[in-house]
Amino acid sequence: MRLRTLSILVPALLLLAGFTHGRSPTWELSHTGVTARLRGLSVVSANVAWASGSAGTVLRTVDSGRTWQQVGPPDTADLQFRDIEAFSADRAVALSIGEGEASRIYATADGGRTWTETFRNDEPRAFYDCIAFFDHRRGLALSDPVDGRFRIAATADGGRSWRVLSGYAMPAALEGEFAFAASGTCLVTADRGRPWAWFATGGGATARVFRTHDFGRTWRVVDSPVPSGPSAGIYSLAFRDARQGLAVGGDFAAPTVAPDAAAATRDGGRSWTTAAVVPGAYRSGVTWLPRTKRAAIAVGPTGSDLTRDGGRTWTRFDTGSFDAVDCAGDGTCWASGEQGRLARLRSSS
């Protein structure tokens, strides 16, 4: 068993090392057999990954993407699972988005053979966008503002039950401000088990980043330099640790042009600096490459970009359409998107 683990891990480490020393990555498409748009993605290991999307679709692989099984909850074809967080080949939590009761959370502990609906939104004005976990027990779900403030639900039992937080400190939302349910990464955590989380916004006069250092009980907010508008702002965040973070976005309605739509922080989200060379197009997902110091990948419907310098400069390496990107700690990375597209990151040479 140990030899098999090493045989999987060593190629992944060599792959990542190559990217940081000038080698370009490439995406290797995997046949999924579905046409759903897959905006939710969670990579567990070299063997295991989950993806979710429209028409109640939830996919799982346990053989490195050679085969994908449709394991979604029954009777959910009218739901859009925009986010999924997986802990193993057996355990996963999926969020469906939408106004009112369309926002639901389902959990499985047997690889998707059975699901339990653990949360159904009963506030007609709420619209849940993303979920994120601090560890295997504690997690948060983010809704667009209700009564002028973003709404947070929390779990302390791995997603088996949720409660909407009340009486917590949340800064007031701007007029028209909301989060984007585009890739499951509008709300993120860093360093499993630590109390840090961040969420990003757009829609209003300014794209902003909210942060908590106490598992979501209190929040602070700062403006970002990423342009905002009715369909523009920060779509995705990624934090390597408590200090180093990336933000990408743009305008979904104008996907080929996105000036200043990438930024980085070195102080935990207290301040943000625009990238010197941005992707230049709308990007809906971003992730750090594990086991590298400053490398990350951003994806969107017009292509994928790589940074080797912590988000200061970005370089296009692929023109295919993807919505979400995620990596496991062992260095395995996948991207997902429209028409059932799922692809694994490989080295070009």
Residue 1 tokens, joined: 């068993």
Tell whether the model's pLDDT for residue 1 goes beyond 60. no
| Residue range 240-254: mean pLDDT, rounded | 97
| Residue range 101-130: mean pLDDT, rounded | 98
DSSP H helices in the chain: 2-20
Tell me if 16 sits within 8 A of 292, measured CB to CB: yes
Whole-angstrom distance, CA of residue 203 vs CA of residue 176: 5
**pTM of whole model > 0.85?**
yes
Looking at 115-157, which runs of residues are DSSP E strands?
116-120, 127-133, 139-146, 149-155
Query: 349 or 343: which carries more pLDDT confidence?
Result: 343
pLDDT band (50, 70, 90) for residue 6:
very low
| Bridge partner residues of 264 (DSSP) | 246, 273
pLDDT band (50, 70, 90) for residue 2:
very low
What pLDDT is attached to residue 19? 60
- pLDDT tens track for 179-237: 999 999 999 999 778 999 999 999 999 999 999 999 999 999 999 999 999 999 999 99
| Residue range 163-186: mean pLDDT, rounded | 95
Encoded amino acid at 300, one letter: G
Whole-angstrom distance, CA of residue 320 vs CA of residue 337: 10
Our CA angle for 68, 74, 80, nearest 5°, is: 75
Instruction: Provide the pairing of β-strand 296-300 with 98-99.
Output: unpaired
| Residue range 67-92: mean pLDDT, rounded | 98
Tell me if 178 sits within 8 A of 189, measured CB to CB: no
What pLDDT is attached to residue 166? 85
Whole-angstrom distance, CA of residue 246 vs CA of residue 224: 11
What pLDDT is attached to residue 20? 57
| Bridge partner residues of 209 (DSSP) | 200, 222
Q: In what order do the strands lie in the sheet with 163-164?
A: 98-99, 127-133, 139-146, 149-155, 163-164
Residue 9 three-state SS: helix
Tell me if 276 sits within 8 A of 263, measured CB to CB: no
Greatest pairwise CA separation for the chain in angstroms: 56
Q: In what order do the strands lie in the sheet with 220-223?
A: 187-189, 197-200, 208-212, 220-223
pLDDT band (50, 70, 90) for residue 22:
low
| Residue range 129-157: mean pLDDT, rounded | 97
Contacts of 4 (CB under 8 A, 6+ apart): none
Side-chain-side CA neighbours of residue 101 (13 Å)? 3
Name the helix (H) or strand (E) containing 233. Answer: strand 232-239
Whole-angstrom distance, CA of residue 97 vs CA of residue 223: 26
Mean pLDDT of the chain: 94
Encoded amino acid at 106, one letter: Y
Tell whether the model's pLDDT for residue 7 goes beyond 70. no
What pLDDT is attached to residue 3? 40
| Residue range 75-82: mean pLDDT, rounded | 98
